[in-house]
Amino acid sequence: MKRRIAVLVFPGTNSEDETLRLLRDCGGEAELVHWSRAQRLTDYDAYVLPGGFAYEDRIRAGAVSAHDRMMDDVIAGAISGKLVFGICNGAQILLEAGLVPGTGPVRRPTAAFTDNGPVPHFVCRHVYMKLAIDPSRCAITAALPNDAAIPAYAAHGEGRLAASPERLQEIVAGDHLAFVYAHRDGRIDAAAVPNGSALGCAGLVNREGNVLAIMPHPERDGWNFNHLDRQEGNDVLAPSGGAALFRSFVDAVNGR
């Protein structure tokens, strides 16, 4: 029996539909849950926080949403071991809620995805995220190969990882750096980083390995029709590219 995945919709979320469709295309039993129905969240086995501009990114991206009623159940679920996956705005919310990297108290963030640098600007660019941990370190990445390079789109104005030197050292020492920006061939250098992110960070995982926050959007590079070269076959509606991470997540949710 498939376990149920909730795709959370905050006021201002705008990437829920493609996230939902790719989860379903990858075999997930996924449904949208709007903020007005937060009480339903306890019925689900895993949570996905998609991209957008929840609460208009007031104060800073993710700061208001981290205190939304929906996050009470997400936090409780994460603590109990449920899988939580945040993408772009969802990743910002997870950091603001203190779930990732999870090195401090809940709702007391120790790091943030903040204004791109060195000059603040919106980034819209195709990128690759290279897995920087052993796949088994995070349940959501466990089905990926070592050094997997996931194609995605960076589309954000606040995606630069920022933290104090001590907290950045803590992230490295605790093996929280899940994904780094890379070139298609896997090379890592400053040119691959679109936003000045500390450590070249594209994603972080918590200590327990059940909460993953990534800034780029793999669901925007998730089907063959997203690829001009059709490298993964002629079926334009077949999941491909960024779907690899979604398949790995769905497999973990279903205990495969």
Report how far residue 255's alpha carbon sits from residue 253's, in angstroms, rounded to the nearest whole number.
5
Instruction: Enter the tokens of residue 145.
Output: 């190969």
Instruction: Enter the tokens of residue 247.
Output: 């398949």
219 catalytically annotated: yes
Q: For strand 4-9 and strand 46-49, is the pairing parallel, antiparallel, or unpaired? A: parallel
Of the residues 16, 26, 88, 156, only one is catalytic, namely 88
Instruction: Enter the tokens of residue 93.
Output: 């919310």
88 catalytically annotated: yes
26 catalytically annotated: no
Report how far residue 69's alpha carbon sits from residue 87's, in angstroms, rounded to the nearest whole number.
19
SS (H, E, C) the chain: CCCEEEEEECCCECCHHHHHHHHHHCCCEEEEEEHHHHHHHHHCCEEEECCECHHHHCCCCCCCHHHCHHHHHHHHHHHHCCEEEEECHHHHHHHHCCCCCCCCCCCCCCCEEECCCCCCCCEEEEEEEEECCCHHHCHHHCCCCCCCEEEEEEEECCCEEECCHHHHHHHHHCCCEEEEEECCCCCCCHHHCCCCCHHHEEEEECCCCCEEEECCEHHHHCEHHHCCCCCCCCCCCCECCCHHHHHHHHHHHCCC
What residues act catalytically? 88, 217, 219
